[in-house]
Chains A and B, each alone.
Chain A
Amino acid sequence: MPLDFRRFNGPEDSVSYKIYTKDYLKTYDEQLKDLYDENGKRKDGRELNEARSMCMFCMFARTDMVSQAKGSAYVELRKTKVVCSVFDPREIPHQNEFRQLGQLYCEVKFAPFSCPRKRRPYVPDVEEKALSVALRQALEPAVCRHFFPNYQIDVLIYILEHDGSCLAAAINAAGLALANAAVPMFDIITSCSVAVIGNKMFIDPTEIEEHIAKNSTEVNHGIITMSVLSQLKQISDFTQIGSMDVECVTKVMEVLLKECEIIVPNIQRILVVDVVKNFELKKHLEAETKKREEILKKKMDEWRSLLNGQ
């Protein structure tokens, strides 16, 4: 693991204290039973097919989070918290050839305190680099890249707390931030993920559900994340890890298409609120400007009359 020698790092052979707790010794079956109770409700009270974006107080999203960025967004899916900033187009560093289409530079970073199992180092590790590539893969078809040839737009994601569905939250946040930054786009982009353990489908999984799905030994297990351009009905990114047969993959794809469509009205509402707010601000500023111009004109007339009167 490459260390950043400009900062203090913990001793290299230190491990998380959690491996010495009772929870750690639970067998796979006990962990699985923990995930949902007899009524089919999950640990956090949701149904198996309930996404965090739908229940009240579960999904919160706003734009204009970072004042220094051209556009920004903050998405909170209960405990998962993601900030995204988008900056103005700038020249592509270290580049010689001319490119007809603009580039998207995506970077996903976990805060060191964000993950429940271990501390994240400051240097981007393999998982963060893979998430950055997946984010770029999802956003590229949505952005009108022919409007900024030979330039690159920076999309920077910072994950403050990781409780599952990080990539989905990041893609939703990036879509909002790009719209907030007035980057021309073809469509609204939404994303959702599903964890499959055996014959159960957990929509919008939490971190524990994701961990069990990835390491399960059942016949069908794994995680699928999908992002969709809603009006154009195009899938911009589809990633699957685990082991599933084709019927399972097809079933999950249908479910995800529906889930991604459900999120769209929320996104639209937030964007409309953002645009209305900006218009009102503009009107307010114009009214203020007019008032000041009136006062200035009066003063100018006064002085003019004084000068002429002299």
Chain B
Amino acid sequence: MAGLLLSSTEKVFIVHGVQEDFRSDGRSNIDYRPMELETDVVSHASGSARLRLANTDILVGIKTEIDTPKPDKPDMGKIEFFVDCSANATPEFEGRGGENLASSISNTMQRAYHSSQAFDLKQLCIVEGKQCWKLYVDILILECGGNLFDAVSLATKAALFNTRIPLVKALLMDGGNVDLQLSDDPYDFKFLDVGSAPLLVTLCKIGEKCVVDPSAEEESCSVISLIVGITGNSKSYCADKGASNLSDVDIKCSTISMNGPGSLAPKTLKNAIHQGIIAAKVLDDSLGQALLRERRENINSMKSSYGFLK
């Protein structure tokens, strides 16, 4: 995607490999590359996460602020996404070069999180009609190695899982004004319910087949890719032992969009959506397990933090 120059022979090699379900790095069409995830890397943010997906490096920081809710949605908080393609990733992003890509990613994330079944904004309400929490999700793209949408959505979900919302200790209603008193104790907070937050899966059409998690080289061989946002399964994010008794919620598509100068046949679109759902289910489960394990280690003070050193 970023200034890669492949010869036509190399492209043919990649296309033929995909037809045989055997990609250049040995993966099958529905395999993801190995990922590393660490949360709580930025101390001043309410929540943060850093994800490395092969060569793609994403850092998400979440800031919480108090705001007045919208007049037509008095019991709902707000969430806003900002994406910054840093010039570190590739020289093309210098100045305003990365603006198109950044706005496309933030629009897709905003659409994916729009539905109340994807992310319930009611949990961000403090006083109905007067005060609510506003989450600013700032996504920083440090390195581009293909498959930005997936990495961004994974890192965002991890950062939201890590976000600590301070608890309200006292509330003073003075006429129409509300005075809040938040707790000073850094350990006095609540976590957000992000089990159903959506994960984006990019399906890149190469030749006749669709591949999941394309590398940068594979992306340059394709003219069209489909991005499907699938809501998560809250069960995988619940640490209670009784969670296995929770019924499996049907997974939903919270956003679907296409990216690229090509077009798709209806049958390919249908197959790609099904393929995306299978990949998203597995991804969601593994992310849930990893995040719960990290939280357990944190509580037992066994967590060793590496930050950017590894």
Residues of A within 8 A of B (CB): 15, 19, 24, 101, 126, 129-130, 133-134, 137, 140-141, 145, 214-215, 217, 219-222, 224, 229, 232-246, 249-250, 253, 257
Contact = CB atoms under 8 A, between A and B. Distances in A.
Given A222-B115, A243-B117, 20 more contacts: A130-B107, A140-B261, A215-B73, A233-B266, A235-B265, A235-B266, A235-B269, A238-B226, A238-B264, A238-B269, A239-B256, A239-B258, A240-B257, A241-B111, A242-B254, A243-B115, A243-B116, A246-B253, A246-B273, A250-B270
Contacts of B250: 245
B262 A141 contact: yes
A229 B263 CA distance: 9
B265 A19 contact: no
B115 A129 contact: no
Contacts of A129: 103, 107
A253 to B, nearest CB: 7
Contacts of A240: 253, 255-257
Nearest to B73: A215
B254 A249 contact: no
A220 to B, nearest CB: 8
Interface of B: 71-73, 100, 103-104, 107, 110-111, 114-118, 226, 231, 250-266, 269-270, 273-274, 277
B222 to A, nearest CB: 13
A243 B263 contact: no
A133 B261 contact: no
B72 A243 contact: no
B114 A253 contact: no
Interface centre among A19, A221, A240, A245 (most CB of B within 10 A): A240
Contacts of A234: 263-265
Contact of A249 (B116, B118, B253, B261): B253
Given A235-B264, A238-B256, A241-B255, A253 B115 contact: no
B107 A243 contact: no
A133 B260 CA distance: 11
Interface centre among B226, B260, B266 (most CB of A within 10 A): B266
Contact of A217 (B116, B261, B270): B116
A208 to B, nearest CB: 13
B248 to A, nearest CB: 13
B265 A249 contact: no
Contacts of B103: 126, 129-130, 133
Given A243-B115, A245-B251, A253 B266 contact: yes
Instruction: In the A-B complex, list the 7 residue pairs whose CB atoms are closest, starting with the nearest.
Output: A234-B263, A243-B115, A141-B263, A240-B256, A243-B117, A140-B261, A236-B263
A229 B266 CA distance: 11
B261 A126 contact: no
A141 B261 contact: yes
Interface centre among B258, B270, B273 (most CB of A within 10 A): B258
Nearest to B223: A141
A291 to B, nearest CB: 49
A242 B229 CA distance: 10
Contacts of B252: 220, 243-245
A203 to B, nearest CB: 18
B263 A235 contact: yes
Contacts of A237: 258
A246 B275 CA distance: 11
B183 to A, nearest CB: 31
Given A137-B258, A214-B114, A245 B253 contact: yes
Contacts of A141: 261-263
A292 to B, nearest CB: 48
Nearest to B252: A243
Nearest to B226: A238
A233 B261 CA distance: 16
A246 B257 contact: no
23 contacts: A15-B71, A19-B71, A24-B72, A101-B261, A134-B257, A137-B257, A145-B261, A233-B266, A235-B264, A235-B269, A238-B226, A238-B256, A238-B257, A238-B264, A239-B256, A241-B114, A243-B115, A243-B254, A245-B250, A245-B251, A246-B274, A249-B273, A257-B266
A246 B276 CA distance: 11
Contacts of A233: 265-266
Nearest to B262: A141
Contacts of A236: 258, 263
Contacts of A235: 258, 263-266, 269
Contact of A221 (B111, B115, B226): B115
Nearest to A257: B266
Nearest to B117: A243
Contacts of B73: 215
A246 B277 contact: yes
Contacts of A220: 252
A261 to B, nearest CB: 12
Contacts of B255: 239-241
Given A141-B262, A236-B263, A243 B231 contact: yes
A140 B263 CA distance: 9
Contact of A244 (B114, B116, B253, B262): B253
Contact of B107 (A126, A245, A249): A126
A111 to B, nearest CB: 22
A218 to B, nearest CB: 9
Nearest to A236: B263
Contacts of A140: 261-262
Contacts of A130: 103, 107
